[in-house]
Amino acid sequence: MRYLELGSRLALFLIFATSALSKVRPADFTDFRSSVKAMRVAPQGWAGQMAGGVVVAEVCAAALLALGWSITASFAYSLCLLMVFTVSQLVVIRRGSRVACRCFGPSTAPMGWPQVARNIVLIVICTLGITASGSTPPPEPGGVIITTVAAAMVALLLVRIDDLVALWLPHRVATANATPRSER
């Protein structure tokens, strides 16, 4: 169970850190803010604050998971954050909006079921982490290495889900919010 907790923490840390870092460059943050505005899940005047709040929330999740002060609370915070993201995605999908998913930086792939599926996998990882938290036996070095590699692979696959969908289902990938920066 200790390895499950460690793997869950590492995978979620990598996901939230990658997501936050992919939005910090000014041009990328501008694109993300435009995407948040197009989602219409909050009053239009709040898009900038909401986009900034998402980045701060992701940084907090990554920090909590990395520091490990309260493992269960870290997983619970991450779980709540992912549930909010998932509900927002479902609202966009339900409306039929073609909004670019810029969860991990520049992308023109529209928000859709692959992103919801990714979030469901992350919610399951959080749940497994909560279940496994509190296990006491110290991990063996070999197990830590294997767990770290596995967590990194899971995180990489989940971060690049849009590319994988485009590779396997190219006819389903269209662009959304593809307004070039020069026209904004």
Domain of 80, in residue numbers: 2-179
Question: Does 153 have pLDDT greater than 50?
Answer: yes
Q: Tens digit of pLDDT for each residue in 73-110?
A: 999 999 999 999 999 999 999 998 888 888 887 777 78
71: in domain: yes
Contacts of 138 (CB under 8 A, 6+ apart): 2
- Alpha-carbon distance of 55 to 24, in angstroms, equals 8
What is the pTM assigned to this prediction? 0.83
79: in domain: yes
**How many CB atoms are located within 10 Å of the residue 26 CB?**
7
184: in domain: no
171: in domain: yes
81: in domain: yes
User: For the chain, how many structural domains are there in total?
Assistant: 1
Q: What is the mean pLDDT of residues 127-145?
A: 84
Residue predicted with more confidence, 33 or 69: 33
Q: What is the mean pLDDT of residues 125-141?
A: 84
Q: Tens digit of pLDDT for each residue in 21-30?
A: 999 888 889 8
Give the pLDDT band of residue 170 (cuts 50, 70, 90): low
DSSP β-bridge partners for residue 100: 110
92: in domain: yes
69: in domain: yes
**How many CB atoms are located within 10 Å of the residue 89 CB?**
22
Alpha helix (H) residue ranges in 23-138: 26-39, 47-67, 71-95, 113-132
- Alpha-carbon distance of 55 to 175, in angstroms, equals 24
CA-to-CA dists, residue 179 to 22, 45, 122, 182, angstroms: 19, 20, 30, 8
Work out the mean pLDDT of the chain and round it to a whole number: 85
